[in-house]
Each structure stands twice: as structure tokens, then as C-alpha cells.
Amino acid sequence: MNGDDRPLPFDPGLDPPRAALRAALRAHECDGQAEERDREAMLALVETEPACFARTTFSPGHFTGSVFVFSAESGHVLLHHHRRLDRWLQMGGHDEGESDPVATALREGREESGLADLVLLSPAILDLDVHPIPPARGEPGHSHFDVRYAAVTRTAGAARADEAESLGLAWLPLEEAARRMDEPGARRALAKAARLLGTSF
């Protein structure tokens, strides 16, 4: 909607899922130049690549969805030790027909954590990050255009790792999570989530 509450004109150049993501990207408030650059790259991808959600789009890459899962009781964040990448990461992964990063993020979050009660802290995008993925399993190197969200669970003790994807799970204080993830985008996203939770970081 615009300022006088009239519907925005229909854009015949984009299908509804891409138009919805473009609107969400435009509405997102970036934190610093690095995230702003990543948003511009995401806008270019969604506007020019009809198959931007498909994991087989390798040049330059495709959208993924991820979610930082927090315990309502402790405020700790759940990370998993990614089996293939050998890194501590938030839950997330590839689109499986949703054409909607938030739906992808929540599905992946539930599958990788075993937690069925995930609830978004906000329907809005938490953070944006474009990062390289090395060649593997016959796939060329490419980029993940990761749209990140934050969610909360009230059943933290029920978390179970997906052994096909993960070497293990850990509930961590935010500072320890940032240390294990060891990349600026993760620290930025955790700081934003802390503000949503009303905690310090």
C-alpha cells in the first residue's frame, strides 16, 4: 500500500512470490554497508532471475531461508554443527517449493531442530547475508542469498539433531554463539535478535 492506502500498481514483470520477496527486501532496514550491499544483490537477483528460488540456479546463486531459534526460557540461541561445512550455523537451507524464504526458514528450523512449536519473533526479515558455498557433490561453487528470521520455542528441551545434516546441537549464550559462528553477519543478526528479545548483547 502507498501513503493514501491505494493498492500499488501490479507489476507484470514479476510473479507473485518474487514480487512479495522484493517488497519485503525493500521494506527491510539494513544495518551497515555490508548488509546494504547484500540487499542490492538480492534485489538484482529477484528482479532478473525467474528461477531465483531453485537450488539448481548457480550463477550467481539462489535464495535460501534461515532462522535463529531462541529459547523463551533462557534466551539462548540454538546452533547446529553443520556436517558438510563443519561450521556452527543457525538452522536453514534450500527452498523446497515454497518460493518464500520465511516458509523455507521455518520448515528447515523445525526439521533440523526437532522443534515443532517455532513462532516468529517478527514476521519481518531479521537480516540479509550473501555468502559463498564451495563446490561439492557435483555442484559448482555459488552463493547463497540467505534471508534470515528469528523464532522462539517454549520446548527447548525437546531439540533433537537431524543426523543427516548435523553433527550436533547446542543451546548457547549469544556471545558464545557469535564466537563459534565467527563471522560479522552472524554477530549482526544476533544483535538484532537480542533487541527483539529485549536482552543485551
Domains of the chain (ranges, CATH numbers): 16-197 (3.90.79.10)
Report yes or no on whether pTM surpasses 0.85.
Answer: yes
- Kindly state the helix (H) or strand (E) to which residue 126 belongs, with its residue range: none
Average pLDDT over residues 68-85: 94
pLDDT band for position 135 (cuts 50, 70, 90): very high
Instruction: Check whether 50 has a pLDDT greater than 80.
Output: yes
| pLDDT at residue 3, as a whole number | 47
Whole-angstrom Cα distance, residue 94 to residue 91? 11
Instruction: Check whether 72 has a pLDDT greater than 50.
Output: yes
pLDDT band for position 46 (cuts 50, 70, 90): very high
Per the document, the length of the chain is 201
| pLDDT at residue 11, as a whole number | 52
Whole-angstrom Cα distance, residue 27 to residue 105? 19
Whole-angstrom Cα distance, residue 85 to residue 166? 10
Instruction: Check whether 186 has a pLDDT greater than 70.
Output: yes
Whole-angstrom Cα distance, residue 10 to residue 69? 35
| pLDDT at residue 199, as a whole number | 85
Task: Identify the residue with better confidence: 60 or 201.
Answer: 60
pLDDT tens digits, one per residue of 94-112: 999 999 999 999 999 999 9
Q: Return the residue matching grid coordinates 558455498.
A: 133
Q: In 3-state terms, what secondary structure has residue 40? A: helix
Q: Are strands 166-172 and 77-82 parallel, antiparallel or unpaired?
A: antiparallel
Rounded to the nearest 5 percent, the helix, strand and coil shares of the chain are 35, 25, 40
Q: Which three cell numbers stand for residue 187?
A: 554477530
